[in-house]
Amino acid sequence: MIKKLLIANRGEIALRIIRACRELGIQTVAIYSQADTDSLHVSLADEAYCVGPYQSEKSYLNIPAIISVALTTGADAIHPGYGFMSERADFVEICNDHNLTFIGPSVKSIREMGDKANARSTMKAHGVPITPGTDLLKDAESAMKFIKKHGYPVIIKATAGGGGKGMRIAHNDRELKEMFTICQTEAQNAFGNPDVYIEKFIENPRHIEIQVIADKYGKVRYFPERDCSIQRRHQKLLEESPSSVISGSIRKAMGEAAVKVVKAIHYEGVGTVEFLLDKNNKFYFMEMNTRLQVEHGVSEMVTGIDIVQEQIKIASGEKISFSQKDVILNGHAIECRINAEDTEKDFRPTPGEIEGYIIPGGFGVRVDSHAYTGYKIPPYYDSMIGKLICWGKTREDARRRMLRALEEYLILGVKTTIDFHKKILSHDKFIKGTFDTSFIEKYFSEAKAKK
Amino acid sequence: MSFNIEYIEKLVKLLEESSLSEIMLQDGEQVIEMRKPDGTVSACHSGGSLASSVQSTVLQAQQVQEESTEEKEAPKTSKTITSPMVGTFYSSSTPGGKPFVQVGDTVSTGQVVCIIEAMKLMNEIESEVSGKITKICIEDGQPVEYGQILMYVE
């Protein structure tokens, strides 16, 4: 079993990992930038080392500093959390070179799934439905054959892309020609790789994802789906499990498809297979995230399984501690991401000092947050203050409990998304469960938000 | 890391230009050891022994830190030499050897005051201030972090 773990991250996820380590009896080493000296994860870890000034590249992305701390403290493993180093194959290689166990998949898995075109063809080869699309294309002309067969609209995507970059939608030939070269250039600049391909664009889909976990012995388990359709500019705001539109049979089909591929590529660790669900309830593979995700807690609440503990145990070489039969969907959980943002000013981040902080509590309420009264939110990193997750026996129970908890949640001194979430949860479409990824745009445009 | 001729030339230059008397690098089964003609042969700082002594040095570090903040506030005219990186502090170039500087010594800007070792590479730390050393805050072999105060200079 791993004895000492270095957490190469910050904020709420660093806290989450430290908690799991405490419970497993593993010593913890925290790293932090000078801007995070007063952060909670720094004081809760057994040891903490400042690795650089506030800039991410000089601290949380500073590979020599991170490795140096690991070696100096005698850590035997590094957990990357999400973001930062979590999907950097080069970092994994360096960990391997120094005999440090990386809590995550192999270099090969990260590269395979990180390359979108490659991931699609792997899925296709294993019979997982993918959105109709092409291989890498040289120019807009070579897309014409596909367009003739499948029509518009299409989305042009960079194979090395992510975070919405190198992606454009085209509705006709003229747009296709224009957007094609724009994408190639953007991709070259952002990722150093101009290769693009096109996919049939599914209008207003739902975003449904399947959490998977795999050990070193070929055993894979899947969790009930998470519905992450409530997004603003491709950033998730609210997630829930299960989805209000997925039947038991579709759940099983998606889960088994995800497991099939994970097994075939010999994936180890936790990961999430993301699908798009169209208006006809057909699902298509979108991409795979080869890391722990922000919203993993939602799945923990409806299954009672501690995903981070399992992740660390698997990395230590243990077998998954439960069978697929043990993954029982119990009730419903919703997560609201509480960000320090001004929802009336285009969601502008509002760093600053939290002058008053009271978290909600009670049955079925979970708060994963690194904030506290007097905490100064630094302006250099993401704006997430914490995650509020509520469980209920039914979806309606969970929704009401979340509204109740949001009423109690007090954060003074900075603007937050708490009130915005109350509006989402009170919206007719949300209550009915009839929404898709266009929900926020349709019903919460900037003008409406000011009301 | 491959030990080709360009890399070795760089190492030779590094050794010649520094006040180090010895460099040892290991990459898997490949090892390079370089020594200056008048340097004494000594045991290299190996990663293995460091790991086992870290627990006690970390505890010592915490005690030293507590003592130094309890004792007094640093005099307002004091300048500091802070660590520009994460690693292990060594006061001399060889274990048990003569320290680069001691309390009471006068240092000038650019003068090497200690070594911080990270991933088996010895990094000479140059002072960015000049004056007299009034306090050395770190013990030989102690881990240091970015921004940590190494010495006070007046």
What is the ipTM, given to two decimal places?
Answer: 0.75
Quote the pTM value. 0.82
Tokens 């989450």 correspond to A16
pLDDT of the residue at A94: 97
The model's pLDDT over B33-90, given as tens digits with 9 standing for 90+, comes to: 777 765 433 333 333 333 333 344 344 444 544 544 444 455 556 899 999 999 999 9
In A, minimum Cα distance to B142 occurs at A72
A211 and A194 share a domain? no
Measured distance between the N- and C-terminal CA atoms of chain B, rounded to whole angstroms: 42
Chain A: closest CA distance from residue B93 (Å): 18
Residues of chain B whose C-beta is under 8 A from some C-beta in A? 47, 50-52, 54, 58, 85-88, 118-119, 143, 145-148
Q: Would you say A126 and A260 are in contact if contact means Cβ atoms under 8 Å apart?
A: yes
Domain over B47-153 is classified CATH 3.30.1510.10: no
A359 and A277 share a domain? yes
- Using left for φ > 0, alpha for ψ between -120 and 50, and beta otherwise, residue A139 falls in beta
- Class of residue A207 by CB neighbours under 10 A (exposed 0-12, middle 13-18, buried 19+): buried
Give domain status of residue A112, yes or no.
Answer: no
| CATH number of the domain that residue A33 is part of | 3.40.50.20
Size of interface A-B (CB pairs under 8 A): 54
In A, minimum Cα distance to B52 occurs at A74
Which of A206, A291, A337, A395 is catalytic? The answer is A291
Tokens 């000479």 correspond to B124
C-beta atoms of B119 and A67 within 8 A = yes
Residue B69 belongs to what H/E stretch?
Answer: helix B47-71
pLDDT of the residue at A442: 94
Residue in B50, B52, B86 nearest the CB of A69: B86
C-beta atoms of A51 and B86 within 8 A = yes
pLDDT of the residue at B7: 75
C-beta atoms of A50 and B50 within 8 A = no
Q: Which residues of B touch A53 (CB under 8 A)?
A: 146-147
Instruction: For residue A34, give its domain range.
Output: 4-103
| Nearest Cα residue to A58 out of B127, B85, B95, B87 | B85
pLDDT of the residue at B60: 46
A224 and A320 share a domain? yes
Q: What is the arithmetic mean of pLDDT over B121-146?
A: 94
Q: Would you say A61 and A51 are in contact if contact means Cβ atoms under 8 Å apart?
A: no
A196 and A224 share a domain? no
Q: What is the SS3 string spanning chain A?
A: CCCEEEECCCHHHHHHHHHHHHHHCCEEEEEEEHHHCCCHHHHHCCEEEEEECCCHHHCCCCHHHHHHHHHHHCCCEEECCCCCCCCCHHHHHHHHHCCCEECCCCHHHHHHHHCHHHHHHHHHHCCCCECCECCCECCCHHHHHHHHHHCCCEEEEECCCCCCCCEEEECCHHHHHHHHHHHHHHHHHHHCCCCEEEEECCCCCEEEEEEEEECCCCCEEECCCEEEEEEECCEEEEEEECCCCCCHHHHHHHHHHHHHHHHHCCCCEEEEEEEEECCCCCEEEEEEECCCCCCHHHHHHHHCCCHHHHHHHHHCCCCCCCCHHHCCCCCEEEEEEEECEECCCCCEECCEECCEEECCCCCCEEEEECCCCCCEECCCCCCEEEEEEEEECCHHHHHHHHHHHHHHCEEECCCCCHHHHHHHHHCHHHHHCCCCCCHHHHHCCHHHHCC
Q: How many domains does chain A have?
A: 3
| CATH number of the domain that residue A154 is part of | 3.30.1490.20
Residues 6+ apart with CB under 8 A from A298: A226, A239, A240, A241, A333, A334, A335, A389
| Nearest Cα residue to A354 out of A369, A336, A334, A337 | A369
Give domain status of residue A121, yes or no.
Answer: no
A47 and A150 share a domain? no
pLDDT of the residue at A228: 98
A98 and A155 share a domain? no
Pairing of strands A154-158, B30-35: unpaired
A211 and A252 share a domain? yes
Q: Which residues of A touch B85 (CB under 8 A)?
A: 64-65, 68
pLDDT of the residue at B119: 84
Coil, helix or strand at residue B20: coil
Q: Where in chain B is the domain with CATH 2.40.50.100?
A: 47-153
Active site residue A404: no
Chain A: closest CA distance from residue B116 (Å): 11
- A64 in reach of chain B (CB within 8 A): yes
A218 and A172 share a domain? no
A59-69: buried (b, 16+ CB within 10 Å) or exposed (e) per residue? bbbbeebbbbb
Q: What is the pLDDT along chain A (451 residues), one digit of tens a residue?
A: 999 999 999 999 999 999 999 999 999 999 999 999 999 999 999 999 999 999 999 999 999 999 999 999 999 999 999 999 999 999 999 999 999 999 999 999 999 998 888 899 899 999 999 999 998 998 889 999 999 999 999 999 988 876 667 888 999 999 999 999 999 998 888 778 889 999 999 999 999 999 999 999 999 999 999 999 999 988 899 999 999 999 999 999 999 999 998 998 999 999 999 999 999 899 999 889 999 999 999 999 999 999 999 999 999 999 999 999 999 999 999 999 999 999 999 999 999 999 999 999 999 999 999 999 999 999 999 999 999 999 999 999 999 999 999 999 999 999 999 999 999 999 999 999 999 999 999 999 765 555 4
A152 and A77 share a domain? no
Residue in B54, B85, B88 nearest the CB of A65: B85
Residue in A51, A71, A98 nearest the CB of B145: A51
Give domain status of residue A114, yes or no.
Answer: no
Q: What is the DSSP letter of B75?
A: P
A83 and A153 share a domain? no
A439 and A361 share a domain? yes
A230 and A172 share a domain? no
C-beta atoms of B146 and A52 within 8 A = yes
pLDDT of the residue at B51: 37
